[in-house]
Amino acid sequence: MMVTNVLREQLGYDGIVMTDAMNMGAVTNTYTADQAAVMAVNAGVDMILMPQDYEKAYQGLLTAVQEGTISQERIDQSLVRIVKVKQGMQ
């Protein structure tokens, strides 16, 4: 988990982490939209940009939370970071 271990723990970054466009061939030639989304969130990413198939990525994340592949706590961590930034923009 590069984002969690290096960016957050070693470097102390607590801001929002976003992917690059997930519809690029480097991603889509290897992973489905749901696989890529779940892997990104498990790696510590907060926001996924431009998945190849939004619905499939969304459903994959919901399923991963329901099955315990991604914890609710992990989702909540991202939500807190996102809400903090939004509140600061008001």
The pLDDT tens digits of the residues spanning 38-75 come to: 999 999 999 999 999 999 999 999 999 999 999 999 99
Confidence of residue 21 (pLDDT cuts 50, 70, 90): very high
Site of tokens 């991603």: 27
What's the whole-number average pLDDT of the chain?
A: 95
Nearest partner of 38 among 17, 62, 18, judged by Cα: 62
Residue 27: is its pLDDT beyond 90? Answer: yes
Q: Which alpha helices (DSSP H) does 1-90 contain, by range?
A: 2, 25-28, 33-43, 54-67, 72-88
Q: Which residues pair with 47 in a beta bridge?
A: 18
Separation of alpha carbons 9 and 27, rounded Å: 26
Residue 1: is its pLDDT beyond 90? Answer: no
What is the share, in percent, of the chain residues with pLDDT greater than 90? 91
CA 66, chain centre distance (Å): 16
